[in-house]
Amino acid sequence: MSGQLDQSQMVALGQAIAQGMMQSGLVQGQKYATGTPTTNWIHGPGGILGSSALDQQIISARITPMGLSSVLPVNMSRDTNPEYGFITGMSSSGEAEPSGVCADCPSGITQSCIQTTQFGRVCRETKELDIDRTIERINRGEIDYQLINDILGLQPADVFRAITQPDYRTVLNVATAWGMVEVGGQFQQVLVPMTFQGNPVNNTAGGGYKEFAGLDLLISTNYVDAYTGANCAALDADVKTFNWADVNSVDANGNFTIVSQLSWMEEYVHRNARRMGLMPASWVWVMREELWYMLTEIWPTAYYTSRGLTAVPPGVSVNVDGVDLTQLRDTMRAGMFLEINGRRHPVVIDDGIVEYNEATGQGNLVAGDFASTIYLVPVTVAGGTQATFYETKDYRFTAAEMAAAPGGLLQDQFWTDDGRFLWTLDRQLWCYILAGKIEPRIILRTPMLSGKLEYVKYTPVQHFRDFDEDSDYFLKGGVPSRPAPSFWGTWNLPATYSR
C-alpha cells in the first residue's frame, strides 16, 4: 500500500480496513492508537445520521474557505533552504573623474541580495476508528447516504485540499474515507490563514508544528540579505496604510481616497516591472469578501468621475448615468476584476486575511466596523515566469525508503495528491488512526512588484458567514452523536415485566 493513493484506492483502503482485509504491510507500525475508539460515527447505533427514516441525499452547510491556495500554482521540492539571488543595483565606485585623456576611468560596483525560505509543517489525524464499528448499521432500513455538495469546496487542484476529488456518492458510507475528508477540512482551517498570517516564530519547540512565512511578512519593507543581514531595500514592496479610514472616505477636494491610493500602488509596481524589464507581468488583487463588496459599491462612481486623483473644478458638473454605474458594479462583481489606470486585474477573495473588529481594532473601530488589508500580488513576470507560488515537500521521494526498509517496516505509509500529503497508519489491535501531514511554503520571487494597503475600514450591512471556527461568524450547531436505539429483549426485560 505504500506509494501514491488516489481516490478509488482511498475508498478501497477504507473498505479493506472495515472488512479486516488489510495487507500485511498495513498492520505493522508502532501502537499510538489508544484502543478507545471515537463515538462520532456517521452510520450505525448512535451515528449522527443513524436513522432508517432518513432521506438518502445529505446536504452540507459548511462554509468552505476561499483564497490564493486555489489560484496560485504549486510546485514540489526537497530543498529545505533554497536560495534566491537578486541583482539589487549597479553603482559607481566613487572614484574621481580622470584628469587626463589616458588616466584611469571610474569603475562600477554591482550589489546582490540572497533570500531564502523554509517549509512549514502541519499534521492532522482521523478519529480513532474501530474496524468492527465501521461496518455496522442499525438495520437494513439505514440506507447508503450520498453527499450532494462538495464539503471541502475550493478547487480540486487546491494545494491544501488533502483529498482532491472524493467520491461523495460513497464517502459517507466508508468511515476511513470520511475520516480522511475530515482531515482535509482541518488542514484548510489552519493552512488557508497561514498564506497571509504564517510566521515561523509560532513554531513549536520540537518541530512538530511549523509555520512558513506568509504574505504579511513577505510583502514588506524589511528585506535583508540571508547571509550578511545587510539591507536589501531594492526588494521592498510598496506598503501603504489607510490609517483606519473608511473605504468610502473622501479628501478635502471630495475625491475618494481609496482610488488614489490603489491607483498609485498599481502604477508604482507596474512601472517597476516595466523599468526592470519584467514585462509582460500579471497581478491579482486580494482582499476579504466584505471589503470587496463595499469597495465595488463606490468604485464605479469614484473611478469614472474624478478617478480619485484630481478634483472637479468649481462650477463644473459631471454627469453620471446611474444605470451605467450599476451595470459596471455588477459586471465587476460577476467578473471579479478591478480596473485601475486603464488596466484590469483579477480579484481573489481570501478568507485567511486578518480582519480587525471592535475588540482588535486598537480603539479605531466600533461595533459593526471592520478593517483589513488589500494586497496586490504578482503572479507571473517576464512573459510567464512564476512570481508567486506554493511549494510543498515532495513525498514521492519516500518510495525508495519505503521499499528498502527491512521487513516492510514502512509499508504502512502512502502519499496522496501527487506527493503533497504523506499518510501513515497507527494501530492497536482492531483500533486504528490515519495521520496525514504536509510541509508547504509560499514563495514571493518579486517582492518589489507587490504592494498592500493596510487598515482599510468598512461597515457592511451584515458580515458574511465564516469558515474559521474561531470567528464570531462561524456557525455550526447540531450534535456529534445520538443515542443508540434501545430495545427490549430476553436479555433486557422491562422493570414491570411479569408472567
Cα separation, 348 vs 288, in Å, equals: 8
Cell numbers representing residue 468 in the block: 474559521
Look at residues 404, 449, 435 and name the one whose alpha carbon lies nearest to residue 86. Answer: 449
Q: Which residues pair with residue 435 across a beta bridge?
A: 125, 424
Q: How far apart are CA 212 and CA 201, in angstroms?
A: 10
* Joined grid coordinates for residue 96: 574621481
The H helix count followed by the E strand count for the chain is 8, 19
pLDDT of residue 306: 53
**Cis peptide bond upstream of 485, omega within 30:** no
Q: Could you tell me the pTM of the whole model?
A: 0.88
- In this structure, the number of other CB atoms found within 10 A of the CB of residue 469 comes to 9
Domain ranges (residues) in the chain:
7-74+119-213+390-443, 235-388+446-458
DSSP label at 135?
A: T
Q: How far apart are CA 239 and CA 454, in angstroms?
A: 8
Handedness of CA 201, 82, 193, 219 (dihedral sign): positive
Total residues belonging to the chain = 499
10-residue averages of pLDDT along the chain (499 residues): 52 51 38 79 86 86 90 93 94 90 92 96 94 86 85 74 74 88 91 96 96 98 96 97 95 86 97 98 98 94 61 52 81 93 95 96 97 98 96 90 67 83 89 93 98 98 93 91 85 85
What is residue 86's predicted lDDT score, i.e. its pLDDT? 96
Q: What is the CA radius of gyration of the chain?
A: 28
- 37-75 burial, b if ≥16 CB within 10 A, otherwise e? bbeebbbbbbbeebeeeeeeebeeebbbbbbbbbbbebe
How high is the pLDDT of residue 407? 59
- Alpha-carbon distance of 479 to 40, in angstroms, equals 9
